[in-house]
Amino acid sequence: MGLSNAAFAFGAGVFFLGYAIRGVEQSAAASRGCEAVDVPHHGHVGARVGRHGARAQRHDFYTLRFLLGVAEAGFFHDIVYYLTRWFPQASQACALDVFYFGAPLSGLLLDLHGAFGLKGWQWLFLVQGLPASIVGIWAVWYLDYDPAKARWLTNDQRSHLVSRLAEDARFAASHGPRSVFASLFDARVLVLCCVYFLIRAAVYGVVFYLPQQVSALLGTKVGFRVGVVTALPWVVAVLVTWIVPRYADSTGKHRMCTVGLLLMSGIAICVSGVSTVPFVALVALCCAASGFIAAQPLF
């Protein structure tokens, strides 16, 4: 599209304007069960925006980024809440792990830049946008709001799952704020918000600027060689995101794994910025990307 670095950064940032405007309202609505059917709806809208992005010109870029932020805020908050309606606390990391798999896979798609004459971001929109549209329509008819309404479960399965979820809900209610308004003044919630904000800032820094950093390390322009090397951190991230949450769920060591991943990522991102040895910097980027991505489902 011929965007300058400043224009690219602005387009990346305007996404979060739409995300923030929609996100808070959507979270509150989802927690009241007001918009259960919007899980497939928001995914479908986001996919449609994505497909338009595959053929966007420069003057469309900012508008599409804003609209994508609005759609993703609705989808992301809905799907995270929806998973808590189906998976007990002890199994949620694995469920969210599958959901977060899209992040490293997106990085891999972006690095297909030039394949069959398409840019990396066009591959991203086409490969992830089209399936999301199809699944979005199918999900409207298939997904049930919670296990109590699921006709495809046996009575024993339904009763067991509903009981486990009710037990988790009682525990959460006895240890946390009882309303959205109260959570805004809860010290634990505010600290966790700050931690998650820093995680997301680091993640998007890697997602947006990893090819440029690899290009600088290799001393060459962004192209096929840079794309192949840039894919390595995302390959490692896929493996770590698959393994660590399952280990955490099986052992109950969610906090230890999360702290370890974030500590590793923080050190690695610093090493990648100061190292002048390409191999060391690349290993550090692999550790940083995999740590930031894998920590999110645990968080």
Residue 263 has a pLDDT of: 92
Question: What are the residue ranges spanned by the domains of the chain?
Answer: 1-143, 182-299
Residue 264 has a pLDDT of: 92
Residue 47 has a pLDDT of: 47
Residue 37 has a pLDDT of: 43
Q: Which of 100, 45, 53, 32 is nearest to 71 (CA)?
A: 45
Residue 68 has a pLDDT of: 76
Residue 267 has a pLDDT of: 92
Please list the rounded mean pLDDT of every run of 10 residues in the chain (299 residues). 66 75 63 49 48 52 76 72 81 74 66 72 76 77 79 85 85 72 81 85 77 77 70 83 84 88 90 86 89 83
Rounded CA separation 51/68 (Å): 11
Residue 116 has a CB neighbour count (10 Å cut-off) of 7
Angle (CA) 142 21 71, round 5°: 30
Residue 170 has a pLDDT of: 80
Residue-by-residue DSSP string for 178-205: SSHHHHTT-HHHHHHHHHHHHHHHHHHH
Query: Could you tell me if 46 and 99 are in contact, meaning their C-beta atoms sit under 8 angstroms apart?
Result: no
